[in-house]
Amino acid sequence: MAVRASLACFPSDPALHAACGMPWGVAITPFSATDERGFPPATGTEGHLLPRCQSCFAYFNLLCPLDRWSWNCAICGAENDLSADAAARYARDGGHDPPEMRSAFVDLLLPVEEGEAAAAAAPTPVYVAAIDLSSSEEFLELVKSALQAALEALLPGSLFGLLTFSSKIGLYDVQGPIPIVKNVFIPPDSDGALQVDLEDIMPLCSFLASIDSCKDRITEALETIKPMSSWEVAANAHDGQDHVLHHIRGFGVALDVLINYLSSEYGNAFELARIFAFLSGPPNYGAGQLDINEDQNSGKARGADHILLQEQTSFYRNLATSAVQAGVCVDLFAITNEYTDLTSLKVLSVESGGSLFLYSSTDESTLPQDIYKMLSRPYAFGCVMRLRTSSQFKIVDSVNTLRDM
């Protein structure tokens, strides 16, 4: 972990901080291999022996004043007693000091179960691609290339699911000899609930396939995906709308039922699921549809330099809350040059711990490279990161993609 302050010098008191008018904060890089000075962490395997403050539960560290039989918390200042074993552990003897006495940057491991119990407890990564069919051939070819890159980056043993959406939701079963897709239509006035649960259409165990044994059939399934046909657009378009300009995109309903679908096995089949949502335009059908009329867009465009756009609906913020509770994070990939209201959509990815990518065209998009890099870099789940300071400071806000899971 690296912690870098925005200023080289700390303000000595609140009055000086207010007078200087400079923003003060720190940038934290949790997965950095070195600290801000370039030094690697001190490591150890006795994390369970690390004393904690009886008042605020902070951990003992190099910055805590230490006496023979007690120590003072660097966070709250409370005095804590040391057990005989801890006192012996922290008796200063030079080169035999434990890691937490040698560095402020420490990686300590906790004991884990061994043998079959530990193997059974190992989490299975789950990934689901949700693809917009109200799109062009170029869009789908780009998405297919990106998912091929993603399959190469996924860890062995990962489970993968494939879903499509437009005016209907398609679920793919790739575990048989040939890929099979089952569809369910989204009612135009949908409140987020379909007439039938996805579990009744296809059991989750059939939807999620191991990439170890089914990678080729996943590729075959991707090749069968085509854009929504013109007759289907015309049949489902609202009266008075040009179906060429207003493709039907039931994104909100699709993501809502998909998250509920996955939540049934949260904690059993998986500890975290990631949804790759690919959008070619704004959601305009069913629950979660967004207002994209020309009057609103032109008004926003005129004041774009002066107005911070607000969310049109709380639907996607509420959906993000449901995703977190279900152990799901959403990565949103928007490939479009039309107004899509990312102000309303971005909370789904940001609040669930995912990422948001925007590409203005398929020709210049780096989507395959971006998704491969995203999956290749380290990430964590089922863990806790606490931001704390000593009593002289107060955390006002944090900007990050870390969420409670």
Query: In this predicted model, what pLDDT tens digit does every residue of 190-240 receive, in sequence order?
Result: 565 788 888 989 999 999 999 999 999 999 999 999 888 644 555 555 444
Cα–Cα distance measured from residue 244 to residue 264, given in angstroms and rounded to the nearest whole number: 38
**Upper half-sphere CA count for residue 124 (Cβ side, 13 Å):** 18
Domain ranges of the chain: 2-108, 122-376
Tell the CATH topology of 2-108: SH3 type barrels. (2.30.30)
Residue 300 is encoded by which pair of tokens? 């926003």
Length of the chain: 405
Contact criterion met (CB below 8 Å) for 69 and 82: yes
Tell the CATH topology of 122-376: Rossmann fold (3.40.50)
Query: In this predicted model, what pLDDT tens digit does every residue of 305-329 receive, in sequence order?
Result: 545 567 777 888 899 989 988 889 9
Model confidence at 169, in pLDDT bands (50, 70, 90)?
A: very high
Contact criterion met (CB below 8 Å) for 163 and 258: yes
pLDDT at site 215: 92
**Burial group, residue 206, by CB count within 10 angstroms (0-12, 13-18, 19+):** middle
